[in-house]
């Protein structure tokens, strides 16, 4: 019979194996062991992903979809295999609903420029929220300026939760689209996206969910959520930079015009008329980030091998421990105390500027993020110009958080 001690030993063994998978975690910074707590900005990459990218360049390097030679056929298969992995990972209905982009920002801009330009008119309204990343604010603002449409903003409370009753009130006969974040990159708030989607659909309004901060922390099932669009980036999913995903329901993608013109997005071209390619290629003009997409497939394989049960248990433990340890420091004020949070904490420390905190922690090998985190309206809501943000992955430990707290106390003493 397995005992509690056996379970703890097994978990510790798995954790050490995971640490060994990430070579950068052995790096020294200013002679100190790296403590990487900037995972909301980008996650580190495991050897399995690094090897997959290296294998592409040493064994398969070729353009895809157009060549009949061996390398092109092999590279094309690897690329499309990754698309199928993404489909299965988020439980999409079809591979044709998976569009590879350069990242979350490009995916949102694609929807704005195609669905938005076609369907939004003067006086129409688009709903976003106070906690959105700039990439889910600015493109919609640009569309509103172009079309004479109106941007409506869901407020949040002092804890950092969306005020649902205010969200409901924003809908009217002019509401045409909703675009909301799944998890806030500044607060860690986990929004009740299924409920938000149901409310939008009750009002017959399509909705996009920005999953850049969610996809790596929890299982996402787009069919169960019933979202119309879901977007995320590979580099936050233990995968390469410069590649991302737009999931869209087929009925919307079919009706949307192409985003860019060029190779691979066409069926035939004459000077009189161009016929566009089928999904998903209609939205993938030109040579894509082939190694990035293949690396994303490897990143998904890796995360699934670790298992979301382990990921969620580890990260929830880290969040609880960090909340307890940092809350015990009188000078530290945590910004964002939603009941349901992901594994990050934003905080301010008295009158000490976050950039000073980040620079001094860096000298001790601790990497955190400081600034407005591309959420300036949110910073204004809480009356701060910037925060320090520590964000955790399953490869972090409570000991690293304890060291962060020790160094914060030293900084506070220094400034006092």
Residues designated catalytic: 374
Pairwise CA distance, residues 100 & 287, whole Å: 11
Which pairing describes strands 175-181 and 207-210: parallel, antiparallel, or unpaired? parallel
Residue linked to tokens 């490897």: 298
How far, rounded to the nearest angstrom, does the alpha carbon of residue 218 sit from its chain's CA centroid? 11
- At CA 334, angle to CA 329 and CA 335, rounded to 5? 165
Q: What is the CA radius of gyration of the chain?
A: 22
Structure token pair of residue 241: 């930079």
Cβ-in-10-Å burial (0-12, 13-18, 19+) of 66 comes to: exposed
């Amino acid at each position: 019979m397995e005992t509690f001690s056996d379970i703890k030993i097994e978990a510790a063994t798995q954790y050490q194996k995971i640490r060994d998978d990430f070579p950068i975690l052995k790096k020294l910074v200013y002679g100190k062991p790296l403590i990487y707590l900037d995972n909301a900005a980008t996650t580190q990459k495991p050897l399995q992903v690094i090897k997959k990218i290296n294998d592409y360049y040493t064994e398969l390097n070729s353009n895809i979809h157009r060549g009949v030679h061996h390398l092109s056929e092999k590279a094309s298969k690897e690329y499309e295999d990754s698309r199928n992995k993404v489909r299965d990972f988020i439980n999409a209905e079809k591979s044709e609903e998976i569009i590879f982009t350069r990242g979350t920002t490009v995916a949102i801009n694609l929807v704005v420029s195609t669905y938005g330009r076609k369907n939004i008119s003067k006086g129409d309204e688009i709903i976003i929220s106070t906690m959105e990343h700039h990439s889910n604010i600015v493109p919609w603002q640009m569309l509103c300026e172009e079309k004479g449409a109106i941007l409506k903003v869901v407020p949040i409370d002092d804890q950092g939760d969306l005020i649902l009753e205010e969200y409901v009130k924003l809908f009217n006969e002019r509401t045409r689209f909703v675009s909301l974040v799944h998890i806030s990159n500044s607060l860690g708030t986990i929004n009740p996206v299924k409920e938000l989607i149901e409310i939008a659909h009750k009002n017959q309004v399509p909705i996009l969910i920005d999953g850049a901060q969610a996809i790596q922390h929890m299982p996402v099932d787009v069919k169960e959520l019933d979202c119309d669009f879901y977007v995320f980036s590979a580099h936050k999913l233990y995968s390469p930079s410069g590649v991302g995903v737009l999931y869209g329901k087929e009925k919307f993608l079919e009706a949307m015009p192409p985003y860019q013109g060029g190779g691979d997005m066409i069926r035939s071209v004459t000077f009189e008329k161009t016929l566009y390619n089928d999904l998903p290629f209609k939205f993938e003009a030109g040579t894509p980030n082939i190694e990035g997409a293949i690396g994303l497939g490897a990143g998904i394989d890796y995360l699934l091998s670790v298992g979301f049960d382990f990921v969620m248990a580890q990260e929830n433990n880290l969040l609880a421990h960090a909340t307890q340890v940092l809350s015990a420091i009188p000078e530290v004020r945590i910004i964002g105390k939603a009941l349901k949070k992901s594994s990050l904490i934003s905080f301010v420390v008295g009158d000490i500027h976050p950039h000073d905190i980040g620079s001094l922690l860096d000298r001790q090998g601790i990497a955190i993020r400081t600034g407005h985190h591309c959420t300036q309206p949110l910073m204004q809501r809480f009356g701060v110009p910037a925060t320090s943000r520590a964000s955790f992955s399953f490869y972090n430990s409570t000991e690293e958080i304890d060291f962060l707290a020790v160094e914060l106390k030293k900084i506070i003493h220094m400034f006092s």
